[in-house]
Amino acid sequence: MSAILKENIDTLISQYQDGYSLEQAFYCSDEVYQRDMNRLISQRWLLVDHVSRIPNKGDYFLFDIGEESIIIIRQSDEKINAFFNVCRHRGSRICLEHEGNKGLLSCPYHAWTYELDGQLRPPRLMPDGFDKTQFGLHACHIKVTHGLIFVCLSKDTPPDFDAEFSEFNEMFDFHGFADAKIAVKRDYPNQCNWKLVVENFIECYHCAPAHAEYCVVHPEDQLLALGAGPGSGPKEAMEKYQPILDEWEEKSRAMGHPVYEIDHDEHSLHLAQLARLPINDRNFAAETRDGKPASNKLMGKFKQCDHGETAMVFNPISYILASNDVAMMVRFTPRDAVNTDVQLTWLVHKDAEEGVDYDADNVAWVWDVTIKQDKKITEDNNAGILSSRYQPGPYSTQEARVATFVRWYLNGIR
């Protein structure tokens, strides 16, 4: 269901009351959703997957977002390409299966055929003067770094990726993402607006009532101060927790592990964030049932566990949460005004063997449970927002990061 937009979007933006949730239309209007996609989502670098998903020449998968379908395909050992899944003849989709392997990209409608670099092969029965070089596939901006695949849907020159994310390079390298492989991939489609998924993910006000398992892994004082990362909790809670954080950081540095806190504000392009924090400095080295590492092979340059996790926020719909032995990629993909695809992908060291070094269910356990709980929460939230009695409500002091996100969002679509 989509709400009817009764006021101009810019008028709604100008009437926004800081510290409150958004008006109904921002969560369920098709017009607002289209502006979200055109002015915000399509202009940012989006994390889509890991290169280990397409190890061989011709391997591909589709990244579907909004009304777009992007073909991510390996051309060679050194080259991965991204193309809009649109035939240049009459616009048919080219790849119909969500993933596979192709020696050539051939449209099933009229058999227009493209090389893996997007160039069109000479089609049948075209008139004199037809220039095939003008009808290659439309390329999508792509950046592959440290094994991670990012795309930008912009029709114009995309943001400078290296300028935006150069601060992440040391942690990319330290965690060894380039030498990782996919251990588990799971999808959790949500019947709600993408902003509700994001808002839920970046606050821990709901953790105690909703996430019993997550709260076993993470101590209460940490969840209150840093449950959704730096800037997400009350100031006094952070002050109380600071000595524990300082002690953990000192121990981690002594192991030779870098410690970071980078926090871009609502005036930044991507709202990026990078922080290393303890999972549970007391008895949990990993987010597992027993607190032990989920994999016997640590990733990257880690030689021992420091009970820590690195949170990487590339933008509000693209994240990595990386512990010493496992890294989890989080992708929130808008599909329409009231539907969002949620995908979690867990990475382990490329030499780790399933059933020997790790158990897939143990790797995924806490977040699989938590995201299923979040799906119920956010879908119920979306259903309530559709009511004629919905009004924006005030954020608590444990939802400070949500307030920052909302200001960033409004800046982006203004």
Model pLDDT for residues 101-135, shown as the tens digit of each residue: 999 999 999 999 999 999 999 999 999 999 999 99
Residue 230 lies inside a defined structural domain of this protein: yes
282 and 395 housed in the same domain:
yes
Q: What is residue 280's predicted lDDT score, i.e. its pLDDT?
A: 87
Q: What is the pLDDT of residues 205-214, one digit of tens each?
A: 999 999 999 9
Length of the chain measured in residues = 414
CA distances (Å), 334 to each of 34, 197, 198, 339, 383, in order? 11, 10, 11, 6, 17
- Residue 283's pLDDT band, with cuts at 50, 70 and 90, is confident
The DSSP letter of residue 120 is B
- Please state, rounded to an integer, the average pLDDT across all residues of the chain: 96
154 and 169 housed in the same domain:
no
Q: What is residue 260's predicted lDDT score, i.e. its pLDDT?
A: 86
Last residue of a domain, one of 115, 142, 158: 158
Q: What is residue 407's predicted lDDT score, i.e. its pLDDT?
A: 98
Last residue of a domain, one of 158, 193, 216: 158
* Residue 4 burial by Cβ neighbours in a 10 Å radius (0-12, 13-18, 19+): exposed
73 and 217 housed in the same domain:
no
One-letter amino acid identity for 149? I
* Total number of domains constituting the chain: 2
247 and 348 housed in the same domain:
yes
Q: What is the pLDDT of residues 140-149, one digit of tens each?
A: 999 999 999 9
201 and 344 housed in the same domain:
yes
129 and 199 housed in the same domain:
no
- Residue 1's pLDDT band, with cuts at 50, 70 and 90, is very low
CATH of the domain at 104: 2.102.10.10
Residue 30 lies inside a defined structural domain of this protein: no
> Would you say residue 29 has pLDDT above 90?
yes
- Residue 7's pLDDT band, with cuts at 50, 70 and 90, is confident
Interstrand relation of 59-65 and 68-74 (parallel, antiparallel or unpaired):
antiparallel
By C-alpha distance, which of 180, 195, 219 is closest to 320?
A: 180
Q: What is residue 6's predicted lDDT score, i.e. its pLDDT?
A: 60
> Would you say residue 89 has pLDDT above 60?
yes
The DSSP letter of residue 37 is I
CA distances (Å), 357 to each of 232, 293, 302, 366, in order? 35, 10, 16, 18
Last residue of a domain, one of 137, 158, 179: 158
Mean pLDDT calculated for residue range 343-363: 98
Containing structural domain, residue 328: 162-413
Query: HSE on the CB side for 114, CA within 13 Å?
Result: 29
Residue 329 lies inside a defined structural domain of this protein: yes
175 and 141 housed in the same domain:
no
154 and 177 housed in the same domain:
no
Q: What is residue 282's predicted lDDT score, i.e. its pLDDT?
A: 72
57 and 187 housed in the same domain:
no
137 and 185 housed in the same domain:
no
- What region does 3 belong to: left with phi over 0, alpha with psi -120 to 50, or beta? beta
